[in-house]
A and B are shown apart, each in its own frame.
Chain A
Amino acid sequence: MKLTGAEILTHFLADEGVEFLFGYPGGAVLHIYDAIDRQDRIKHILVRHEQAATHAADGYARSTGKPGVVLVTSGPGATNAVTGIATAYMDSIPMVVITGQVPTHLIGNDAFQEVDAVGITRPCVKHNFLVKDVKDLALTLKKAFYVATTGRPGPVVVDIPKDVTADTVDYVYPKEITMRSYNPVVKGHIGQIKRAVKLMATAKRPMLYTGGGVILDNAHKELAQLAKKLNAPVTNTSMGLGGFPASDKLFVGMLGMHGTYEANMAISNCDLMIAIGARFDDRVTGNIEKFAPRAKIIHVDIDPASISKNVKVDVPIVGSVGDVIKSLLREIKASEFKPNKAAAKEWWQQIDEWRAVECLKYKTDGDKIKPQFALETLYDITKGDAYVTSDVGQHQMWAAQYYRFDKPRRWINSGGLGTMGFGLPAAMGVQLAFPKATVACVTGEGSIQMNIQELSSCMQHNLPIKIVCLNNGFLGMVRQWQEFFYDERYSHSYMDSLPDFVKLAEAYGHVGIQVTKPGDVEAAMKEAFKLKDRLVFLDILTDPEENVYPMVPAGAGLDEMILI
C-alpha cells in the first residue's frame, strides 16, 4: 500500500503503540497534521508552546515507562523544543521528537523557518536523524524508538523535510531492527558479580546508593530484595526517589546537597558503597575528595561511561540494573553468604543516632505558612499516593524531602538539567497517562510562570491537575544562596508584580484558591482535591525567608552539612 511520508508517520506511530503525540503545528509539518486529522489511532495533544510539548511527553514517559512522542515544526518549533530535549537527555528519559524541516532542496538556503535541527540538538540527544528519502522513513523511525528506549534511554530527534512527508512509498511496519553499531549490554559480567558479592560478605557498614536507573529499569522489587538480604541502609538520589519505599525502615532519605543528615553521614562512614543506577553527580557527592572516603565502591550501571567518570570505583558492573541485581541475589544465595549480625547491629545503632538528630525538623511560626508544613499536609491529604511533578528550586527540594514516595514513577522532576517550567506540562503528560489518578504539581511563583500558558492546554484536554504553588515572592533557592554566600544582597531574586494567580486560574476557566494562614492549608487542600474533575490552582503564600536544610555548601564534604 503506497502512503505519503506523513501517513507513514501516523501509521508507524500507531503500529508502534504510541497513544499520545504532543505537538504544535506549523508550515513544515502541515502534511503530517493533515494525516493526523485523517486517522483516529493516535491522539494529538495540542500544547501552547513547544517546550511544554517535550515536558508533557517527558512526564508521560517518566510515569509510564513508555517513550514520550513529540511533533514540532521546523525553525522556532525545533529550537523551542531544545530545552525539553536537554531535560530528557540529562535524566535519561526515552523520548522521540519529530521535527519538521524545510523541503530538501531548500536545506542550507536560510529558508523561512529553517534551522539545522540535527546540528542544534546533537549535543543533547542520544542520537538524531535527518530523513532525506521517504523510503528510509519507516526504518529510521523504528531505529529512533529502538535507540530511545534501550540501553541507557534518552531522547532521539528525527528531522523530516516537508517534501519527504508528501512523497509516497509502500509502507510495511518494520517489526524488528538490528544495528551493528548499537548493542547495549544487559547482563553483568559474572566475574565482577562474584567480586562484588565477596565484598558484600566482608562489609561491616554496607550502604546502598541508588538513582534513576532503578526506576528506569523497573528494578525496585529486586532492589528491595537486595537491601533486605544485606540489611543495609538505602539512600536515593533525587532521581531515584520511589525506587525504594520511603516508609521502609532501611530507608535513610535522600543524599547530597540537601540530603538528610543520616544519609550523608552514612555515606561518609560506610565501608562498602553499592551504587546502582546512579551517576555520582556533583549535587550528590559534594566535594569529591571527601565522598565516601572509607568505602570500597561497587557501581552497577547500564552506561559504561558513567562508571569511574567522577569517582574511581573498585568493582564496575556494566549491565541493566534489574538483571545485575538478580545475578547478585543468585550469587549471594550460591555463596552461602551470612550477614555479619554483630557489625550490622553496631552500624544500625550508629545510623539511629544520626536519625535522632531529626534533621528535617523545622521551626514553626504561628503566622507564616511553612512550606515544609504545606508539603506534609499534601502528603497526608493525598495519602502519599499522588503523582507529584515539580518545578525547580526550593519547593523541589522540600517536595523531595517531605513527600515520602513509596512507589516508583510517582516523583517526576527535572533532576539533571534543573529546568524551571517543567512541572505543569509534565503533570499534563502524567494526567493523560493516568486520567483517574491524583496528580499534583508542586511549584513556585517563579517556575510556574515559565509555562503558565499551559493552563489553557489543561482546560482543552480536561486535565484536573492540582497546582500547589508555594508562593514566597522570591526565587527562593537563588535568595537562599544570596543570603548564605552574597551577604544577603538579593540581586533580582525578588518576584515583583506577581499576577493574581486566583484570577489568572479563573481566567483560564479553572479554580483558584489562595491560602494565607497555616490554619487554612489543610481545609484548602481538602477542598481542592475533592474537585476531582477540575484543575485547582492553590496559591499558598509561604514564609519568604525559609531555607532548605540540611545544606552542604559548595566545596564541602557531605559530613560538613549545615543543619538548621
Chain B
Amino acid sequence: MKQKTKTDEEGMRHIISILMENEAGALSRVAGLFSARGYNIESLTVAPTEDITLSRMTVVTWGSDEIIEQITKQLNKLVDVVKLVDLTEGPHIEREMLMIKVRTSSNDSREELTRLVDIFRGRIIDVTATSYTIELTGTGDKLDAFINAFEKTPILETVRSGVSGISRGAKNLHI
C-alpha cells in the first residue's frame, strides 16, 4: 500500500479505532464499505479484545474533513460497530510491527546488521547460516527508515502488521 502523507489535496491521515462485535463477516462489512464508497485505506488490522465477543479494528485512512466525517458516520451505521474513535483527534500512540528476513553472507555483514538492529531497538528472532529474521516495532516512519537502511544487505522478505493505535492517558475505548 502506498504511504500517504498529509497534503491539502488528499487531506489528513486519520487513525480510526473501532470496537465491533466479534462476528463472522464483520471485517468484510468494513472492507466492503470502504471499497463501495471509494474511501482510502492505508492499513487495516483486527483482532479480538480481552472480551472475546468484541474485536478491535484499526483503520488508517486519509481524506478531507468532510470525507472523514462521512467515514466515521458510515462506520457507526454498521450494525456490528459498537463504538469508534478517531484517534488522531487527540494525543495517541501508534505502532506497527515489522518482520524482515535478510541474507547474511559473511561475518562482517552479521556484525553490521546486529549494530543496525540495536540502533533501531529491534530484535533478531531467527537465525540460519545464511539469514537473519528481525522484528521491529515503531511508527510507520521508523519502519520505513529501517528498511531503507539495508543498503548492501539483500532483503529476502518483509511483512508488516499494519498500524495499531491507542489514545494517551486514561481515556479509553470501552463499552
Chain A positions within 8 Å of B, measured between CB atoms, are 118-119, 122-123, 126-127, 130, 147, 179-182, 303-305, 308-309, 312
Contacts and interface: CB of A to CB of B under 8 A. Distances in A.
Nearest to A118: B25
Interface stretch (B79-87, B100-108, B110-118, B138-146): B79-87
Contacts of A303: 77
A337 B172 CA distance: 44
Contacts of A119: 28
Interface in B18-53: 20-21, 24-25, 28-29, 32, 36
B77 A122 contact: no
B73 A181 contact: no
Contact of A130 (B24, B29, B82): B24
B36 A182 contact: no
Contacts of B21: 181
A157 B166 CA distance: 35
A303 B70 CA distance: 12
Interface in B59-98: 66, 69-70, 73-74, 76-77, 79-82
Contacts of B77: 303-305
B175 interface: yes
B125 to A, nearest CB: 35
A123 B25 CA distance: 12
10 contacts: A122-B25, A123-B36, A130-B25, A179-B79, A180-B82, A181-B20, A303-B77, A305-B70, A305-B77, A308-B69
A97 B162 CA distance: 37
Contact of A126 (B32, B70, B79): B79
Contact of A182 (B32, B70, B79): B79
Given A123-B32, A130-B24, A181 B79 contact: yes
Contacts of B76: 304-305
A308 B82 CA distance: 23
B48 to A, nearest CB: 15
Contacts of B81: 181
B152 to A, nearest CB: 47
A541 B175 CA distance: 63
Nearest to A151: B77
A147 B77 CA distance: 11
Interface residue tally of chain B, by bracket? Answer: 20 to 34
A130 B24 CA distance: 9
B70 A122 contact: no
B19 to A, nearest CB: 9
A123 B29 CA distance: 8
B82 A181 contact: yes
Closest 4 CB pairs of A and B: A305-B73, A127-B79, A181-B82, A304-B73
Contacts of B82: 180-181
Given A122-B25, A122-B32, A308 B79 contact: no
Contacts of A180: 82, 175
A530 to B, nearest CB: 49
B73 A122 contact: no
Given A181-B21, A181-B80, A122 B28 contact: yes
A127 B81 CA distance: 12
Contacts of A123: 32, 36
Nearest to B21: A181
Nearest to B76: A304
A107 to B, nearest CB: 11
Given A180-B175, A181-B82, A309 B70 contact: yes
Contact of A122 (B29, B66, B69, B175): B29
Contacts of B24: 130
A7 B70 CA distance: 42
Nearest to B29: A122
Contacts of B25: 118, 122, 130
Nearest to A183: B82
B20 A308 contact: no
Contacts of A304: 73, 76-77
Nearest to B20: A181
B79 A147 contact: yes
A312 B76 CA distance: 19
Contacts of A122: 25, 28-29, 32
A417 to B, nearest CB: 15
Nearest to B53: A180
Given A181-B82, A308-B66, A308-B69, 18 more contacts: A119-B28, A122-B29, A122-B32, A123-B32, A123-B36, A127-B80, A130-B25, A180-B82, A181-B81, A182-B79, A304-B73, A305-B70, A305-B73, A305-B74, A305-B76, A305-B77, A309-B70, A312-B66
A181 B54 CA distance: 11
A147 B80 CA distance: 11
Contacts of A127: 79-80
Nearest to A305: B73
Contacts of B79: 126-127, 147, 179, 181-182
A394 B99 CA distance: 61
Contacts of B74: 305
Nearest to B81: A181
Nearest to A152: B77
Which one of B24, B29, B73 has the highest number of Cβ atoms from chain A below 10 Å of its Cβ? B73
A312 B77 CA distance: 19
A123 B82 CA distance: 19
A249 B175 CA distance: 51
Contacts of A147: 79
A181 B81 CA distance: 6
A306 B70 CA distance: 9
Nearest to A143: B79
Contacts of A130: 24-25
Contacts of B80: 127, 181
A312 B69 CA distance: 11
A156 to B, nearest CB: 9
A304 B73 CA distance: 7
A281 to B, nearest CB: 16
A123 B32 CA distance: 7
Contacts of A179: 79
A99 to B, nearest CB: 15
Nearest to A182: B79
A303 B36 CA distance: 19
A309 B28 CA distance: 23
